[in-house]
Amino acid sequence: MKAAITTTAKYLPEEVLSNADFERMLDTNDEWIRTRTGIRERRILKDPEKATSYMCTEVARQLLDKRGITAEEIDLIIVATMTPDMSFPATACLVQGNIGANRAWGFDLSAACSGFVYGLYTGAQFIESGNCRKVMVIGADKMSSIIDFTDRATAILFGDGAAGVILEPASEEGYGVLDARLYSDGKNGREHLLMPAGGSLHPSSHETIDKRMHYIRQDGKQVFKAAVTSMADVAEEIMQRNGLTGDSIDWLVPHQANQRIIQATADRMGIGMEKVMMNIEYYGNTTAATVPICLAELDEQKKLQKGTNLVLASFGAGYTWGAIYVRWQ
């Protein structure tokens, strides 16, 4: 049996950082940010005592509440993030401990903006194999912890947030996570979008701090070009493999990095923007959280009914990218 998404939930911090706030901090302006990216504001988890596991735990508790199950029923917790609380232990273990999921194992998955898409497909394998009955997949990033707030080219793009789903065996054939195409390209991706220090290559030192190597570095133009091509290619591929057309797809749920990348993907798929889930305006790029936040909002708005055809698509650091076809049960 395929894996179906049975529950969704999201957590966004309350603190809003608007384009006007950035105008006061950097040489930028609301018009540039809106027209180049589609972003008006983003959320920031201000409390220095709270990190990614806090947001994940909020999501996990909501998921349990909504599904009406106890934490002991969860078999596996996958947290997709590139801003874990610490290198180790895994954020998934912190969440497991916080909610008391005493039977669950778990791990963090590092695939940047494609983290949730990678995680959803990974989690689905454990359901399909019969090894697990209930898997939590959460995408979360506290991007404000790695943003260089003096770099106008990257600072305005990102926000903090978390969201997730519970995967369970689909109750009928033909529903659930039906197909996926996932890719990576470390040859071309490694130099254009990265955080250079803090790992085993450049452990933290006075020098790495002086050189501002603990922040995101992005060559926006290069990443933009790769994202436009790859996200559209993989979305088209998943359509062809599954006999989908622009008409038969109900929602494109794309990673929210830039509204122009999303538009290009929708155009290639032959989908009107009215069938594209977009909330980049309010949250910016929350990295691993964008796709599940979109799913949670569609669900809140009762737009996910039995038989709704969804294509999820992402592109991010690595490079990593992919698309998943989900038929809602």
Which residues are known to be catalytic?
113, 255, 285
Of 109, 178, 261, 289, the residue at the interface with ligand UT7 (CB under 6 A) is 261
Residue recorded with tokens 């790769």:
226
Distance CA(118)–CA(83), nearest Å, equals 16
Of 285, 309, 320, 329, the residue at the interface with ligand UT7 (CB under 6 A) is 285
- Nearest residue (beta carbon) to ligand UT7: 220
Question: 182 Cβ partners below 8 Å, 6+ apart?
Answer: 114, 117, 118, 121, 320, 321, 322
Q: Toward ligand UT7, which CB reaches closer, 118 or 315?
A: 315
Is 17 among the residues that bind ligand UT7 (CB under 6 A)?
no
E strands present in 221-319: 251-254, 309-316
Is 262 among the residues that bind ligand UT7 (CB under 6 A)?
no
| Binding piece for ligand UT7, criterion CB under 6 A, among 197-205, 215-223, 238-246, 297-305 | 215-223
Compute the least distance from the CB of residue 34 to ligand UT7, in Å.
Answer: 11
Q: Toward ligand UT7, which CB reaches closer, 112 or 166?
A: 112
Compute the least distance from the CB of residue 270 to ligand UT7, in Å.
Answer: 22
Is 282 among the residues that bind ligand UT7 (CB under 6 A)?
no
Is 288 among the residues that bind ligand UT7 (CB under 6 A)?
no
Distance CA(46)–CA(64), nearest Å, equals 26
Is 28 among the residues that bind ligand UT7 (CB under 6 A)?
yes
Can you read off the two tokens belonging to residue 172? 């009928």
Compute the least distance from the CB of residue 223 to ligand UT7, in Å.
Answer: 4
Compute the least distance from the CB of residue 308 to ligand UT7, in Å.
Answer: 26
Task: Return the amino acid letter for 107.
Answer: F
Going from the C-alpha of 131 to that of each of 67, 76, 169, 194, the distances in angstroms are: 20, 10, 11, 35
Compute the least distance from the CB of residue 155 to ligand UT7, in Å.
Answer: 7
Tell me if residue 230 falls in helix, strand or coil.
helix
State the distance between the two ends of the chain, measured CA to CA, in whole angstroms.
13
Angle at 8 between CA 4 and CA 11, to 5 degrees: 155
Q: Toward ligand UT7, which CB reaches closer, 20 or 209?
A: 20
**φ, ψ dihedrals at 73, nearest 5°:** -80, -10
Contacts with ligand UT7, residue ranges (CB under 6 A): 28, 32-33, 36-37, 113, 152-153, 156-157, 220-221, 223-224, 227, 257-258, 261, 285, 315-316
